[in-house]
Amino acid sequence: MISMVKEITDETFDEFVSNNDMVVVDCWAAWCGPCRFLSPVVEELSTENADIAFGKLDVDRNMKVAMKYGIMSIPTLLYFKGGNLVNKTIGALPKKSLEDTLDKMRI
């Protein structure tokens, strides 16, 4: 399966968020166990929700974005609509919970 989740960086973050109406950014790090648990869930959601752009941001390598959005714990998912942050979830939440958050973003 081809990944629908785009790797983004401090340099590409603003363009990625502004060029897509609805965006979810998975903020993670290689050493983070819960991040590794959440990653396949985010991959699944990206293939099931074609109307939402999904990105992955390694917070160890991209600290500007992490600092800008006050990311203190990972995994953190940032939800954007029309370029604006509309929600943030922290932790390796179950898929159903994340689906509910995506549904609310569409309203």
Residue 30 is given by DSSP the state: T
Which residue in the list 8, 35, 38, 74 is annotated as catalytic? 35
Residue 91 is given by DSSP the state: S
Contact status, residue 10 vs residue 64, Cβ threshold 8 Å: yes
27 a catalytic residue: no
CA distances to 19, 62, 91 from 47, rounded to whole Å, are 19, 25, 21
35 a catalytic residue: yes
Provide the total of helices (H) and of strands (E) in the chain, helices listed first.
4, 5
Which residue in the list 5, 17, 24, 32 is annotated as catalytic? 32
- Would you name the residues annotated as active-site residues? 32, 35
